[in-house]
């Protein structure tokens, strides 16, 4: 008999697949060029406040919520005893999309069932942080 899935399960999986793109957008919004966008104003004009404008730019609210949830769970998972293996499985399966779950399990040296538990726990932690249950 199969295990019942929650309605949010597929949504959180899609959030994990989209995380690298959202992270790239977030990083681009918060990056200041080497010169800081120096602009010399002409007479009577105010100088633009480039650094402040960069600090004020944000992702849309939903994408920011998703980014914060995944980033928080990545940080929390890194502190676990098996954190490196858990993050490696999630990265290979969701972020880089280079391995299946079974292939990722072989790379990190755990059984398929344990890798499935790592992945499932990560998905549940993201959903919990997002307040989905």
Each residue's pLDDT tens digit, 98-119: 999 999 999 999 999 999 999 9
In the structure, what pLDDT confidence band is assigned to residue 29 with cuts at 50, 70 and 90? confident
Burial call 83-115: b when 16+ CB within 10 Å, e when fewer: eebbbbbbbbbbbeeebeeeebbeebebeeebb
Write the burial class of residue 123 (CB in 10 Å: 0-12 exposed, 13-18 middle, 19+ buried). Answer: buried
In the structure, what pLDDT confidence band is assigned to residue 1 with cuts at 50, 70 and 90? low
Q: What is the average per-residue pLDDT within 3-10?
A: 84
Q: What is the average per-residue pLDDT within 48-73?
A: 79
Q: What is the average per-residue pLDDT within 49-66?
A: 73
Q: Is the pLDDT of residue 38 over 60?
A: no
In the structure, what pLDDT confidence band is assigned to residue 79 with cuts at 50, 70 and 90? very high
Tell me the CA end-to-end span of the chain in Å, nearest whole number: 24
CA triple 28-12-25, angle to 5 deg: 5
**pLDDT at res. 92:** 98
Q: Is the pLDDT of residue 51 over 80?
A: no
| Cβ(121)–Cβ(86) below 8 Å | yes
**pLDDT at res. 2:** 66
* Interatomic CA distance for residues 88 and 20, integer angstroms: 14
Of the chain, the percentage scoring pLDDT greater than 70 comes to 77
**pLDDT at res. 5:** 74
Q: What is the mean pLDDT of the chain?
A: 87
C-alpha closest to that of 58 among 103, 95, 19, 28: 28
Whether the model pTM is above 0.85: no
């Amino acid at each position: 008999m199969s295990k019942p899935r929650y309605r949010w399960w597929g949504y959180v999986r899609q959030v994990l697949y989209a995380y690298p793109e959202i992270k790239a957008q977030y990083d681009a919004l918060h990056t200041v060029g080497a010169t800081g966008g120096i602009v010399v104003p002409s007479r009577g004009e105010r100088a633009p406040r480039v650094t402040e404008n960069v600090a004020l730019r944000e992702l849309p609210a939903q994408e920011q919520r998703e980014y914060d949830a995944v980033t928080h769970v990545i940080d929390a998972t890194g502190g676990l005893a098996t954190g490196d293996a858990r993050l490696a499985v999630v990265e290979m399966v969701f972020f880089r999309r280079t391995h299946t779950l079974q292939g990722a399990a072989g790379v990190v040296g755990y059984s398929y069932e344990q890798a499935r538990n790592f992945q499932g726990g990560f998905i549940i932690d993201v959903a919990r942080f997002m307040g989905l249950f």
